[in-house]
Chains A and B, each alone.
Chain A
Amino acid sequence: MKTKAKGRTKIVVSLKEYSLETVRYAAHAASSAARVFIRTSGRDAAVAEFEPTGKLPGAKIAAAFKAELEDEKLRASVYEANRELRDFMILKALAASEAAQKLPQDDSGLTPEQEKELDALIAQVESEIKQEAAAGASADPLGITKTWEDKYGAKKSRKKN
């Protein structure tokens, strides 16, 4: 729902459909073209008010904000689906580079301490996933409650052939 007053555009956003964090970021993205102010309206809605600062009219800013809401919602789900994997990949990359610098190359590229750290991280991730599943997550379209092995294949020896 959109209302206009004195060059300002107000958009009401349902917090049932978008998180407040999503609304914040989408509004922030629009702040390149407008002064933005957000307040909540009860528990289920947020109101974002835009006052254009440049040539872009309020209607276009509103359209850009709505498009950004959708994209930010998508981003949040992509991010959540991949957060542990990202952390794992960065750790793997950093740990391997350290091992390459300091020690004679072993087959896995990780020192025993680093392998242990990696195993601990994997165990922690699996435990968190299991906890979430036990806490009663209903639909699981992104496979978050699946174990590591189910998602990525059984853990093979990290020694290269």
Chain B
Amino acid sequence: MALKKAAKRTEPSGPPQLLWRRDGAECLVTNDFGHYAWLKRKDFDLLLAGRLGEKHPAYAALADKGFIRDRLDFDGLAAKWRSKNAYLNSGPGLHILVLTLRCNHKCLYCQSSAAGVGSKDTDMSAATAKKCVDFAFQSPNPGITIEFQGGEPLLNWEALKAAVLHARAKAKKAGKDLRLALVSNFSLMTEEKAQFLMENEVSICTSLDGPADLHNRNRVFCGGNSHAATVKWLKFFQARHARQVPEYRVFKPSALLTVSRYSLGRHKEIIDEYVKAGLEDIFIRPLAPIGYAKNLWGQIGYDAKAFGKFYLESLDYILKLNRAGVTLREKMASMMLDKIINSRDPGYLDARCPCGAAIGQIAYNYNGDLYTCDEGRMVGWEGDDAFKIGNVRKDPYRKVMTSGAARACVLSSNLESQPDCARCAYKPYCGVCPVYNYETQGSLWGDMAVNDRCGLFKGTFGALFAMLKKPANEAILKKWVAK
């Protein structure tokens, strides 16, 4: 980008718009356009005073990134802001269909507050499932992802099939880009079901919490060995992915890790299990005290500091494996880095401004009730409908999108309105969760000064920015998000 010539000035140009975070003798500066730079203290002071001269070695790079007030490329920077915030132009892209509350597992941290297998009236009917699909297609977003969840969605196979076929037919007519995804514990998977899913290009995701003893301790399955079923079907789908057929595309299966207190201190074993299972991505997800997990928090929970330590140790180990030639990416890091390095929106609804509640995703409960997100639905299961935005049978699309709960979540997750976030150097890449705030701090706004989720995100960003300073790590991390 060519530097614009500024008029000759004799007085200082004034401070640029920037946010900063002091780190010892250095300062991390960022701006609304998603650019960042590390500056020594004295250079930071010069920059703020508008006295960083053209001859300074960092001047050109800083000007390029919008940190020199006299040299702002308005069109370029506006384009950067647009790209980073492209999601503001679309409606909800992710539609989570909770096909049933029934589940054959009793995971300790289950936030979906699953019901037992024999539970009555907790399945989504095929007719409701189709209505949900119809509703999803009313979103102005050109790309729709429908994700089937539960409980265990395979317990409601008929509704799943009906929704998949209806969605595929609808996508053809609507000309939208449709992705289908299934989140399952695999215990009820059969070859027949797998074939249907592959033929209809449904991507598959499961949970893998580590080696068998740890996985089974977190994910209690009375009907057998949860870990064994998970690994068996991961291998199955991986093998089919490797043997693609021309009629349909088979996606690589993926897995999620939920970190419980039992996971702490075992990061190497967990990561090794992912490598052993042939997975190339690991999503190290912290537990949140929402839904069922809230009741057992004393037993399975931890604070931001403990998770931060686990996460850093995990990231260090993953980078070490990368240096040894192993392909493994950490998903949360990848998504944050996509924002930091590429100014691109990776579709991580938890780290958006405003967050994805309603405007980025909708959770469809088994009975057709609509919620801002799956976490909001879990709060609803506890008897509090603060995050309910409508019902698929009764409420038109526009009414749902402009509901009180949707608007409240947009307002309260707008970082420009959050006193701590508006000042934070990580603001261009971060997001708050009104549901988390509500559940843990009693209000949608929360108090970021003492918010554990904020502490967790700050720890992650701190680690990533520090890693980006080291050339060896930087090369690997950039490769993870190479365009």
Contacts and interface: CB of A to CB of B under 8 A. Distances in A.
B81 interface: yes
A31 to B, nearest CB: 5
Interface in A1-52: 25, 28-29, 31-32
B320 to A, nearest CB: 32
Contacts of B4: 153
Interface stretch (B12-20, B106-114, B146-154): B12-20
A141 B15 CA distance: 10
Report, as a range, how many residues of chain A touch the other chain: 20 to 34
27 contacts: A25-B423, A28-B420, A31-B450, A74-B48, A78-B15, A78-B16, A81-B14, A81-B15, A82-B15, A82-B16, A86-B17, A89-B32, A89-B77, A89-B78, A90-B32, A90-B81, A92-B74, A92-B78, A94-B88, A96-B79, A98-B89, A101-B89, A141-B11, A141-B12, A142-B14, A142-B15, A160-B75
Contacts, number: 71
B449 interface: yes
A65 B4 CA distance: 40
A85 B352 CA distance: 23
B449 A29 contact: yes
B17 A75 contact: no
A19 to B, nearest CB: 15
Nearest to B13: A143
B145 interface: no
Report, as a range, how many residues of chain B touch the other chain: 20 to 34
A93 B33 CA distance: 11
B53 interface: no
Interface in B48-92: 48, 69, 72, 74-75, 77-79, 81-82, 85-86, 88-89
Nearest to A31: B449
B368 to A, nearest CB: 31
Given A29-B449, A78-B15, A101-B89, 19 more contacts: A25-B423, A28-B419, A31-B447, A31-B449, A75-B423, A77-B15, A78-B17, A81-B15, A82-B15, A89-B32, A89-B78, A89-B81, A92-B74, A93-B79, A93-B81, A96-B78, A97-B86, A141-B11, A153-B6
A139 to B, nearest CB: 11
Contacts of B81: 89-90, 93
Nearest to A74: B48
A78 B422 CA distance: 13
- Interface of A, secondary structure class, is helix
A56 B18 CA distance: 30
B482 interface: no
B2 interface: no
Given A142-B15, A143-B11, A143-B14, A78 B48 contact: yes
Interface in B277-292: none
Nearest to B455: A32
B242 interface: no
A89 B74 contact: yes
B7 interface: yes
Contacts of B85: 93
